[in-house]
Amino acid sequence: MKSGRTVEIDLFEQMPAPFGLIRYGVAPDHPRIKGIVNSLHAVMEKPNVRFLGNIEIGTTITVEKLHEYYDAIVFATGAVADRDLDIPGENLNGSYGAADFVGFYDGNPRFHRTWNLTATHIAIIGV
């Protein structure tokens, strides 16, 4: 987003409100973790980021249909490691698990994927 290129990011969530496990799965006695929501709000206020709630991938819309509109799809569903989601089309070219992507941008040497960083339309499933 800092490259000067226009990038559009749509954030899909099956719950009506964003932040999935951070909002719904973190105990109230973990305020530091819940504080992450404030940082995420700053990202979501950017004009090129949209939140789309109440959308269940595989039911409301298929991964194949998303690929008609997006150059890249990141599955960020709250898991520590990527796992199969049993959603038709989740293994199509241009679909990636969040753990794989996080490993890349954190510089984890175990992740050797070469990423196409020229995508301009990106869908993220699980916010």
| Two structure tokens written together for 127 | 């916010």
| Two structure tokens written together for 13 | 């969530």
Confidence of residue 78 (pLDDT cuts 50, 70, 90): low
pTM: 0.59
Of 42 and 112, which is predicted with more confidence? 42
Query: Could you tell me if residue 1 is inside a domain?
Result: no
* Pairing status of strand 121-125 against strand 8-12: parallel
Query: Could you tell me if residue 3 is inside a domain?
Result: no
CB 58 within 8 A of CB 92: no
Nearest to 20 by CA among 104, 98, 110, 105: 98
What is the residue whose two structure tokens read 């989601």? 85
Residue 60 domain boundaries: 8-125
Over residues 12-22, the mean pLDDT reads 77
In total, how many domains does the chain have? 1
Beta bridge partners of 23: none
Query: Could you tell me if residue 22 is inside a domain?
Result: yes
